[in-house]
Amino acid sequence: MTDHLSIRPRRLRQSAPMRALVRETTLRPSALVLPAFVREGIREPQPISSMPGVVQHTLDSLVDEGRRAIEAGIGGLMLFGVPTTKDATGSGAIDPDGILNVATARLRDEFGDDLLVMTDLCLDEFTDHGHCGVLDDRGRVDNDATLEVYSQMAVAQAEAGAHLVGPSGMMDGQVGVIRRALDRAGFTDVTILAYTAKYASAFYGPFREAVNSSLTGDRRTYQQDPANLREALRELELDVAEGADIVMVKPGMPYLDVLTRVAEASPVPVAAYQVSGEYAMIQAAAERGWIDRERAILESLTGFVRAGADVVLTYAAIEAARWITEPRQVAR
């Protein structure tokens, strides 16, 4: 029977050069973005126990990380601030002397346009209740009051030097309000990466430690229900109409179907976020010797790109970029 097998797909898998020749999906270092945490009031980087290899940076160590990012050729840094004090309205987010704005300015002063500086535009790190917006007198997140703060936060981040702002709070109308505020302030070139489909996920757990979260309750009234897909396409339509330059699906791996549908429908570039819980699972399994860490990370990132992502946020961005450019020798 084997004498009659004229169609043999294995011919294209027989060697590393052959596999490289016909490979359909390619990871690029420049498509990877490193989320980075900068904490106010510390003298040394602080390890994050639930995310081995990731730290809360000082301003100086953040600069060092920025230099490594440039050397690795990745797409940029997405900054998250960890302040020493918080309040009900997250006032530190709009303060020019707030940690996130100070860190942004420091990176721009050090690197100019050589490093793409992106900033998380959300209040959860800055509020004493840990929610992504301002609360009303019944303890609910007030969408429209939050939008006013977001508009101020966007301008503050742009004034600090952000190339790109990433509104992640899932407030209705956030992209339009931010775009108008930036344009009125003269920041027409500042890019908006909209967290278009951000789900109320269990995979954010380690991130809570990373930003010293004060969250009480949950975020299900504003983040998307994990069971819904059509809702993501509606959010996509709204964000693009309001002026989003890039849209994103978050988390990544449990939502590859959503990512594909969004990518098929989107007229703008699409990003995916390999969130803290996804990263932590790979780390934990690798530490126990259950999986090959490098291969697992590269395989997962390839999956995002194959599903339609043009940009991937991952805590392994610098390492992955080096693996891509200097691949290890593996068995043929």
- Kindly list the catalytic residues: 198, 250
CA distance 191 to 282: 31
| Cβ–Cβ under 8 Å, residues 231 and 145 | no
CA distance 325 to 29: 8
| Cβ–Cβ under 8 Å, residues 17 and 59 | no
CA distance 29 to 26: 10
CA distance 28 to 325: 9
CA distance 39 to 80: 9
Q: Residue 310 has which token pair? A: 């043009």
Q: Return the residue matching tokens 């709009």.
A: 94
Q: Residue 194 has which token pair? A: 């909209």
Q: Return the residue matching tokens 């849209």.
A: 247
Looking at 83-229, list the stretches that DSSP marks H as alpha helix, in order from N- to C-terminal side.
99-111, 143-160, 174-184, 205-210
CA distance 319 to 69: 10
